[in-house]
Amino acid sequence: MRLSTSTLVSAVVLPALVSAHDIHHARFQPRQAAPASSAASAATPSTVAASGVTSAGAPSTVASAASSISEPPTASFSLLSSNANAVPLSSINANAPSQATVALDTTYQAGATPTVVSSAPGLPNPSSLVISSYPPLDKTPPTDSPEVQQWIQEVANSGVSIPNFSSTVAGGCPANAAAVADTSRCWWTCGGCTRDTDIVSCPDKNTWGLTYDDGPSPYTPTLLSYLDEQSLKSTFFVVGSRALSYPATLQAEYMGGHQIAVHTWSHPELTTLSNEEIIAELGWTKKIIKDVTGVTPNMMRPPYGDIDDRVRAICTAMGLTPVMWTRISPMATFDTGDFDIHSGATSVTQVLANWENILGNASVMDTGFIVLEHDLFQQSVDVATGYILPDALAHKYTIEPVVNCVNKPMSDAYIETNDNSTNPPIASGGAATLSSGAPGSAEATAKAGGSGNSSSSASALVSSPKSLGLFALTTVIVSLVGGSVATLL
Ligand SMILES: *[C@@H]1O[C@H](CO)[C@@H](O)[C@H](O)[C@H]1NC(C)=O
Ligand SMILES: *[C@@H]1O[C@H](CO)[C@@H](O)[C@H](O)[C@H]1NC(C)=O
Ligand SMILES: *[C@@H]1O[C@H](CO)[C@@H](O)[C@H](O)[C@H]1NC(C)=O
Ligand SMILES: *[C@@H]1O[C@H](CO)[C@@H](O)[C@H](O)[C@H]1NC(C)=O
Ligand SMILES: [Zn+2]
């Protein structure tokens, strides 16, 4: 096989920041722990060749910001391909100047309908949105409005019983010992518990359910343009406040054949909220998406993955199926960590090392997988369009929105267009997606011990040699060390 010169394997000395965490996504330790970071930070500089790439020439000239903290760990990764127009790795960091944003390829007329959503209603006119009729941006909406009061009533009328758990408090697992100990809550954040009604992976091997969270943002059009170029479709977990700020971008996602789903109004940890506040967060996000696109999503992703059986019950009552990202053990979540490049809490090389670990783990799973990525910051979009997506395409995965990866048509993703035949409403007991025992399911998590014991499922996976051969045979290896590039092989 002839390899493109853009094929990379790099061993990069990282600033010793891998254990630092951005506050936004760091509150819950297990979820945010970068898969490779614990191994990397335990390694001494002379044993950095965790993936077989030697660290010859590893400089002691680590980025000055980091050199104060003992010896730097190293992250390494390999890619089958990258984008010829990629932003260079050295320019994807917290200090990167803001790039010029690109305009949307297409804007759409009111009344238009997307081809992939059969019997969709016409697109609303976004200029008819009255901003003052929505709650303040980025705050949990008040619960005494007529809208929220109506949604509370609908939840009460749904017949779904909501467990009477106390809310958790800020501070994650260490601050919530009783809730952590109460396994009947099935609290994902502290132990990875999931239920069969959660979508945690795609059933078919080598299928990637592509997702981007926290947008739409000024950088979303750049991502959309790359996805269009490659004929890729994604699921977007939309923050209601961003949808109100960027309605034309949300319309472009929807009309472009991407799946739109709910990611709350203000991005809180849902288990910390009251039932009424959770209803307000989800209800307003459903409403803004419907007001902008004409349709109401029936899937949601909890910010930080923070879900328990109380939040699940409210989601069920509101017609929303939770979609997580694949998690095979407390330390191996399929989280690229891309969110944290913007703040400097992680580096692009760590993110690509995480990506390589994700693919390694995916290659030995029986099912497909779902990965956490974001379209809020330019750094995340740069790493997605420049590196992660080109690499995934070279791996020849089937890449599709979550609704398609669970083998349902796009029309099943919205309450107005779902005919309930292949995707019965979750409250009716439908929407189970995976057999029990699949990675990330409640059963698999229970087998893994739920907390503390990360060895069982992870070591079973790493002990299989299947995944590693591809990289060893086909990669041209380049070492990018402290900014200089040297060919090793
Ligand atoms: C729910 O739990 C709280 C305290 O944990 C208790 O005061 C309240 O009565 C319970 N409500 C119901 C309906 O059981
Ligand atoms: C799976 O991920 C873990 C880190 O999360 C990593 O240490 C391990 O090498 C990966 N397994 C494979 C087969 O790549
Ligand atoms: C599908 O189920 C929802 C929720 O129960 C209901 O509101 C809707 O009318 C149903 N759609 C059809 C086409 O039956
Ligand atoms: C973790 O689980 C594995 C496999 O079930 C078991 O062999 C091992 O003893 C457990 N380790 C701990 C610390 O519980
Ligand atoms: Zn998020």
Domains observed in the chain = 1-489 (3.20.20.370)
pTM above 0.85, yes or no: no
Tokens of 422: 């292949």
Tell me, in angstroms, the distance from the centre of ligand 2 to residue 331's CA: 9
Q: Which atom of ligand 3 is nearest to the CA of 420?
A: 1
Among 456, 459, 462, 463, which is best to mutate for testing ligand 4, by the most ligand atoms less than 8 A from CB? 456
Instruction: Determine which residue's CA is closest to atom 12 belonging to ligand 1.
Output: 164
Residues with C-beta less than 6 Å from any ligand 4 atom: 449, 453, 455-456
Tell me, in angstroms, the distance from the centre of ligand 3 to residue 140's CA: 29
460-482 burial by CB neighbour count: b if 16+ within 10 A, else e?
ebeeeeebeeebeeebbbbbbbe
Tokens of 85: 């127009």
Distance CA 280, CA 193 (A): 25
Pairing state between β 259-262 and 8-13 = unpaired
Distance CA 172, CA 199 (A): 23
Distance CA 283, CA 158 (A): 15
pLDDT of amino acid 58:
29
Instruction: Determine which residue's CA is closest to atom 2 belonging to ligand 1.
Output: 164
Which residue type sits at 198? D
Tell me, in angstroms, the distance from the centre of ligand 3 to residue 427's CA: 11
Instruction: Determine which residue's CA is closest to atom 13 belonging to ligand 1.
Output: 164
- 9, 78, 220 from 473: Cα distances, Å: 12, 12, 36
Tokens 């998590």 belong to: 445
Output the tens digit of pLDDT for each of the chain's 489 residues. Answer: 333 333 343 433 222 222 223 323 322 222 232 333 333 332 223 222 223 222 222 222 223 333 333 334 568 899 999 999 999 999 999 999 999 999 998 899 999 999 999 999 999 998 889 999 999 999 999 999 999 999 999 999 999 999 999 999 999 999 999 999 999 999 999 999 999 999 999 999 999 999 999 999 999 999 999 999 999 999 999 999 999 999 999 999 999 999 999 999 999 999 999 999 999 999 999 999 999 999 999 999 999 999 999 999 999 999 999 999 999 887 789 999 999 999 999 999 999 999 999 999 999 999 999 999 999 999 999 999 999 999 999 999 999 999 999 999 999 999 999 999 999 988 876 543 333 333 333 333 333 333 322 222 222 222 223 332 222 222 222 222 222 222 222
- Catalytic residues, which ones? 213, 374
Among 328, 329, 445, 453, which is best to mutate for testing ligand 4, by the most ligand atoms less than 8 A from CB? 453
Q: What is the 3-state secondary structure (H, E, C) of 89-136?
A: HHHCCCCCCCCCCCCCCCCCCCCCCCCCCCCCCCCCCHHHCCHHHCCC
Instruction: Determine which residue's CA is closest to atom 2 belonging to ligand 2.
Output: 357
- Return residues with CB closer than 5 A to ligand 5 (ion): 213-214, 303
Pairing state between β 398-400 and 478-481 = unpaired
Instruction: Determine which residue's CA is closest to atom 4 belonging to ligand 2.
Output: 35
Q: Which atom of ligand 3 is nearest to the CA of 428?
A: 5
pLDDT of amino acid 17:
24
Pairing state between β 207-209 and 369-370 = parallel
Distance CA 253, CA 260 (A): 7
What ranges in 88-173 are assigned the alpha helix state H?
146-157
- From the CA of 42, the nearest ligand is 2
Distance CA 388, CA 341 (A): 14
